[in-house]
Copies of this chain bind each other. A is one copy, B any other.
Amino acid sequence: MEYRIGLGHDTHRLVEGRPLILGGVSIPHLRGLVGHSDADALLHALTDALLGAAGLGDIGEAFPDDDRRWQGADSRIFLDATLQRLQALRWKVVNIDAIIFAQEPKLGAWKAVIRRNLARLLALPEDNINVKAKTGEGVGHIGRGEALAAQVVVLLQR
């Protein structure tokens, strides 16, 4: 058995008039994430962690944000395409641990929904997926509500 680890991080600015989509789940909130695609910071960090573990570069290379194909794109497309590349290389996801950093909204009730959705998108048992949430403790760009971030580690095996 071979193993690989990967780390993904993504930050997006929060503004009024944009949807807030995290892990493929739409979360009702006055503000949402700015980006070329749907700006799903959690799926972007996860995609980057998967690409990184498999030695496949990063999301910016795979899905350039100046490519009109990805304007307003559903980030599940990025995850799906990445999972196909991993499958072609016979990599399987062992587990995923994610942190969402957001001063607002409160994500307590949403973590389980996001986790279930990730499990579905990755065709993995929920036990192998974990979603945590942290506020910014009122400091820095997360704490001031200027942005939201996600950080993800993954373990692969084949």
Residues of chain A whose beta carbon lies under 8 Å from any beta carbon of chain B: 2-13, 34, 48-49, 51-61, 94-95, 97-99, 101, 108, 111, 126-134, 136-141, 143, 146-147, 151-155, 157
When distances are taken between beta carbons in the complex, the residues of chain B under 8 Å from A10 are: 134
In the bound complex, residues from chain B placing their C-beta under 8 Å from that of A13 are: 137-139
Within the assembled complex, what's the spacing in Å between the Cα atoms of A98 and B4? Answer: 13
Chain B residues within an 8 Å CB radius of A8: 99, 132
Which residues of B lie under 8 Å from residue A60 when comparing CB positions? 108, 132-134
| Contact (Cβ within 8 A) A97 B5 | yes
Expressed in whole angstroms, the Cα–Cα distance for A58 and B119 within the complex equals: 17
Bound Cα distance from A140 to B132, whole angstroms: 22
Which of B5, B11, B101, B134 has a CB less than 8 Å from the CB of A134?
Answer: B11
Q: Is B48 touching A132 in the complex (CB atoms < 8 A)?
A: yes
A140-B140, A141-B140, A143-B141 known; A130+B97 contact, CB < 8 A: no
Provide the bound-state CA to CA distance between A57 and B133, in Å: 9
Task: Report the separation of the CA atoms of residues A141 and B155 in the bound assembly, to the nearest whole angstrom.
Answer: 30
30 A-B pairs with C-beta separation under 8 A: A3-B94, A4-B128, A4-B155, A6-B153, A7-B97, A7-B99, A7-B151, A7-B153, A9-B99, A9-B151, A11-B134, A11-B137, A11-B140, A13-B137, A13-B139, A51-B132, A52-B98, A52-B130, A53-B130, A55-B95, A55-B126, A55-B127, A55-B128, A55-B129, A57-B132, A58-B131, A60-B132, A139-B147, A140-B140, A140-B141
